[in-house]
A and B are shown apart, each in its own frame.
Chain A
Amino acid sequence: MNFSPEWIQALSSIVTVLLGISALVFAVRQISQITDQLRISALTNVLSLEAEMNLRKEKLDNVNHEIEKLDMNKQLNSRAKDVYEKKQNAAIENWLNSVDRLCFCIRRDYFKEKDWKVEYRDYIKEIIQNFEYKFGAATKYNNIIELNKKWSNE
């Protein structure tokens, strides 16, 4: 069976096109899988940050319960008061630090802002309202303040 040079050229062109299409399909699938992996990785980071926030919030809850128990048992004397004021303040600071870190990640686009706005807008606003004294001029929680300002104006 003899192939003319034109036939061989046509066949090689067809094979080249088919290979090109296969490579394109493969590349698109790879990109899609990489995109999925990146989204999952971002979600993992968010979940671990949220877990850390909840852990610190839980520690604050525990301190609050200890204070209530002491009060119920009439053991909240001036010495206990000093100790627990410091303990509660430290727990509040630890919680706010983790919230500030979340706000930083949202502000710097490490997390998609639109995904978090609905969930955290009220959460952040209530924190600022309840701990107003922590958000004065010399506040360490600038990311919380700035994100709240931005979301309040939108």
Chain B
Amino acid sequence: MSQGSNKVESSVARNDALDPKETLRQTQSGKDLLSSREYNFSVSSDQTLRNTIAAMDLLKNAGE
């Protein structure tokens, strides 16, 4: 996913001088990203939240 994102970002950055083949290739790469996004993507923040609460508890208890 991150490799694909770099491709898209670089396509935007270099959008001023693209030949048609390159445009088509990047369009396909973007389409692949879109379809992968629809089927294989999930986000989670569970661990960060747990770590934050645990660290808050440590801080709270530190002064006692």
Contact = CB atoms under 8 A, between A and B. Distances in A.
A52 interface: no
Q: Interface residues of A: mostly helix, strand, loop or mixed?
A: helix
A81 B59 contact: yes
Interface size class of B (residues with CB under 8 A): 20 to 34
27 contacts: A36-B30, A36-B31, A37-B27, A43-B30, A44-B5, A44-B12, A47-B8, A47-B9, A57-B48, A60-B52, A64-B52, A64-B54, A65-B51, A68-B55, A68-B58, A71-B62, A77-B62, A80-B62, A81-B63, A84-B55, A88-B55, A88-B59, A115-B37, A115-B38, A119-B41, A123-B44, A127-B45
Interface in A69-125: 71, 76-78, 80-81, 84-85, 88, 92, 115, 119-120, 123
Given A68-B54, A88-B56, A76 B45 contact: no
A123 B43 CA distance: 7
